[in-house]
Structure 1
Amino acid sequence: MKILITGAAGFIGMHTVQKFAFLGYEIIALDNINSYYETDLKYARLAALGIERNAIVYNKLIKGHGDNISFIQLDIQDAGNLNVLFATQNFDIVIHLAAQAGVRYSITNPRDYIDSNIIGFYTILEACRNFEVQHLLFASSSSVYGDTETIPFSENQNTDSPVSFYAATKKSNEVMAHAYASLYELKITGLRFFTVYGPWGRPDMAPVLFAKAGTESQPIKVFNNGEQSRDFTYIDDIVQGIVLVAENKSLLKNYQILNIGKGSPVSLMDFIRLLEKELNLQFDYHFMPPQKGDVVTTYADTTAIEKLGYKASTPLEIGIPKFVTWFLKYYYHNEKN
């Protein structure tokens, strides 16, 4: 089967490409390599897939590792070239992970989220409809639940009160996808990811921010005075969930939303202390008030995806050391002692 994976130079995207290629699928990896954060990290992820920076040319398909990974630099808003790609490649499955990420960035730059998460998603929906894709999987987010006290978060509960514009665009994606699934009989599954961490993580997310500040003897910013908890989910468990959804289409409804998380929230301060221990550092905490758009707790009910065989099996005590090993090697060229 042939799979298009968008957002392939991103954190989740890179790991997803690696896994499906390992399983023997033919992969077309797509990314626009934008500058929301350092592009060097994106190019390094692509290099790990065998895609050399100097070979990348916009809208040109190039080969990566082995015979089953190819890459194209393309913007999902570029409908003309995207439609040509769909017409020539005959994708069976599309795993749409490309998006403008970041809760806090959405407060000051909402237009970027309209362009990528609304217009770009519409372009993907249209391509899947017009070129008869068998199954579209797309990344939603736990942020759609808002700041609710109803925990754990179930796919069946109301998500009409997002507290960030990023969350609003992800909720919009779910509503748009529902309409397309109904109108055009497309098989579409939305995946609500919960606080993903691990090697190759985004530099604007807490693990890298904390680790960099601590390593460089800078204070770490701890919002809401550390009184938060997150359903930290290791990247391998997220990818396991994506694979199970892709491979069990017959067990899913025509349109379905699924949580993918650990299912056990951890205090932010406990996460920080484990990170300190693994880095062998004592952080200087700078406690701060709540940040706009943040929620106090995330907590996934994973009952629905567990019916496909999903089990998040990576505890923080294993996931954080793996993250730290990568972090020290990538940012400081040091092997962990």
Structure 2
Amino acid sequence: MHDNLLLIDGSSLLSCCFFGNLPREYRFAKTDEEKDKYIEKLRQSPKGEFTNGVFTMMASMLKMIKNQNPTHIAVAWDLTKEFTFRKKLYSEYKGTRKDMRSELGSQFALAQKVLKEMNVPEFVFKEYEADDIIGTLAKKFGRSMRVSIWTKDQDCLQLVDDNVRVWLITSKCTDMYESLGINIKELNIPSGVFEFTTQYVNHFYGVDPIQIIDRKAIEGDSSDNIPGINGVGEKSVIPLLQEFETVEGIYDFIENSPEKEIKKMFKDLGILRSPLSKLVEESNEKIVGKKAALLCKQLATIKCDIEELNNITIDQLKLQIDEEGMKNIFTELGFTNLLN
């Protein structure tokens, strides 16, 4: 069996598992007050700890390990958005996200405890996010083995190459495969994911994996509160990147060409509504135009060279589940049916 590394975005997976295993009353509650009424319906341990997300995450991971047979594994976690290098670059980064409710927030430390008892390698850093950890490990070991990244974060698509694939958690996976004429049941991939290769990133996003960064730099990303360039959308971004490859390439053309030539190029690229005024906009009050694009590119770029991971060896990521440790923690949390 060939060596293969499974990298898991723990924060992304736990959140998905939490929201995927909720009682109906809680799921459809519209206010915090309504949710509070039904909070006791969430799965809990014998000690009263909320465990619905952790339980579903462990069930999903065990199924993944059984069906995909990874030889090596690592789980990456976000610690806090407040102290990351991106927050230092742009104070409004992820600034629109609501505070996490305690019934989910409390399960992060619990999930990490469970994985520690199971002897599953985990990584978390104050300054970096989970996708930076994943990016560093993928680039470090992707030259010598197949790497699969399990996440709901589309940012990770920038990491896809010949040896690195992303298993993107999405409710649209069946429809996506059907649009390609592929029967998902005939594929050996995890349920609920679409497996992104270089070819499929290009098919669905119109750009190469590494250009996902540049596309996000211009379009922005409301979920991360990355502004991009207001008023410049995919109908302009995709043809511009297909022609000039990067944000820097676009601005190199604009800054070294007469306006008449620029407008002709836009027309030749099939861009019906010229984005030029937005691309070259300047302001002392707000971040716009080139300044916005270059800042947003920094925010969108996954860091693949975390120094703290320099000395990690592939042997440290070898999948070696501690069966006794798993049995003890599962029993403590009331997960005994997972031991079957």
Provide the TM-score with structure 2 as the length reference. 0.29
Give the structure with the larger strand fraction: 1
Q: Which has the larger radius of gyration?
A: 2
Provide the TM-score with structure 1 as the length reference. 0.29
Give the structure with the larger helix fraction: 2
